[in-house]
Amino acid sequence: MDKLIITAAISGAEVTKEHNPAIPYTVEEIAREAKSAYDAGASIIHLHVRNDDGTPTQDRARFEACINAIREVAPDVIIQPSTGGAVGMTDLERLQPTEIEGTEMATLDCGTLNFGGDEIFINTENTIKNFGRIMIERGIKPEIEVFDKGMIDYAIRFEKQGFIKKPMHFDFVLGVQMSASARDLAFMVDSIPEGSTWTVSGIGRHEFPMAAIGIAMGGHVRVGFEDNVYLDRGVLAKSNGELVERVVRLAKELGREVATPAEARKILNLEEK
């Protein structure tokens, strides 16, 4: 069983300081939260960025400023920019972080998603193909974001057509469109190609139960303020580091060692930059 890769999704595009005052907006706050997660044991920082007022942005300059600030405090961490951005952004807006030199990973959402209420996060077949092609051209490994089984099927189809390279890495986001259960996670894991790696992200109250199941199954785990702002029922987490620390404790109890960034790169077959 591979060592455990912990990803910290430190900010997201939807949560605000009204949900938890520790949600990072500024460059300095982003660096603070990345360092707290890294120090606790995260080897990947999944990165959305904000303007200082908290408005989500995909602006390349803002991403560069945040990435440079993270590099100052966590020089070897894997930084994984989101190409999801926020509901309503154009494809060109969303792709801006992939233009940044040295980007190793980025997210690739493999389907359209009901995101709550009237919000629809749109990813057409052409969008997925275009994002995949650009990531191949730029030497960026996609983390394939999957919210239901059909998105796995899309990824497999587009890999066969040359828009995604093997070995693929999946992130199963459960508790949004698909229920968060051991049954459904096992179904997703059984549906991906041999040789693939995977991470599980449980949303809200599902974060730690799904983390424990993912650790026991030999997968990897994502936690962080993007997915959940609570450490316990009714108790706000003070930092992303607190959320990562709990996963590290779970891993210790379940007999999984935690991967360093260098070990995570080997497990994920990341290309040299």
Q: Where exactly are the structural domains of the chain?
A: 6-268
Which long-range CB contacts under 8 A does 21-27 form with residues at least 24 apart?
A: 21/236, 22/225, 22/236, 22/237, 22/238, 22/239, 23/54, 23/225, 23/229, 24/50, 24/225, 25/50, 25/51, 25/52, 25/53, 25/54, 26/50, 26/52, 27/62, 27/65, 27/66, 27/69
Rounded mean pLDDT, 92-101: 94
Q: State residue 23's pLDDT score.
A: 98
Rounded mean pLDDT, 159-167: 98
Rounded mean pLDDT, 236-262: 98
SS3 144: strand
List all residues 6 or more positions away from 249 whose beta carbon is below 8 Å from its beta carbon: none
Per-residue model confidence as pLDDT tens digits over 28-51: 999 999 999 999 999 999 999 999
Answer for the pair 6, 45: CB distance below 8 angstroms, yes or no: no
For residue 170, name the pLDDT band (cuts at 50, 70, 90). Answer: very high
Q: Report CA torsion sign: 24, 258, 98, 87.
A: negative
Q: State residue 121's pLDDT score.
A: 87
Task: Report residue 131 as tokens.
Answer: 């994002």
Q: State residue 217's pLDDT score.
A: 98
Does the domain spanning 6-268 belong to CATH 1.10.760.10? no
Rounded mean pLDDT, 203-230: 98
Tell me: pLDDT of 157 over 80.
yes
**Across the strands, what pairs with 198?**
170
Rounded mean pLDDT, 161-170: 98
